[in-house]
């Protein structure tokens, strides 16, 4: 999905620079800026998800964390 957002953002920015009227250029530029923010957030979310741990740990793994030991690999 984030790759489609990136392609769509690049397309809207390209369209904004090829328009001859100010209104069309402003509309496509606004959509490009909104798309750039959405794309940046999508890539950030994918990176966070890739490096996050599982949602829940067992009681044993929590005890190991409290003792300063790393949790067991799953």
Q: Which helix (H) or strand (E) holds 1?
A: none
Is residue 19 one of the residues assigned to a domain?
yes
The burial of 9, by beta-carbon neighbours within 10 Å (0-12 exposed, 13-18 middle, 19 or more buried), is given as buried
pLDDT band, residue 16 (cuts 50/70/90): very high
Q: Which residues have C-beta within 8 Å of that of residue 39, sequence separation ≥ 6?
A: 2, 5, 6, 9
Is residue 71 one of the residues assigned to a domain?
no
pTM: predicted TM-score of the whole model, two decimal places: 0.69
- Asked if 70 contacts 57 with a C-beta cutoff of 8 angstroms, the reply is no
Is residue 72 one of the residues assigned to a domain?
no
Is residue 37 one of the residues assigned to a domain?
yes
Question: What's the Rg (C-alpha) of the chain?
Answer: 22
Is residue 73 one of the residues assigned to a domain?
no
User: pLDDT tens, 36-64?
Assistant: 999 999 999 999 988 887 677 778 888 88
Is residue 24 one of the residues assigned to a domain?
yes
- The total number of structural domains that make up the chain: 1
Is residue 48 one of the residues assigned to a domain?
yes
Is residue 7 one of the residues assigned to a domain?
yes
Domain enclosing residue 14, as ranges = 2-66
Structure-token pair, residue 19:
């328009």
């Amino acid at each position: 999905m984030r790759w489609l957002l990136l392609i769509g953002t690049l397309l809207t920015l390209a369209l904004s620079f090829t328009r001859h009227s100010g209104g069309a250029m402003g509309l496509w530029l606004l959509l490009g800026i909104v798309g750039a923010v959405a794309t940046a957030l999508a890539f950030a979310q994918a990176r966070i998800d890739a490096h996050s741990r599982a949602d829940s740990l067992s009681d044993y793994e929590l005890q190991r964390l409290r003792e300063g030991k790393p949790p067991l690999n799953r």
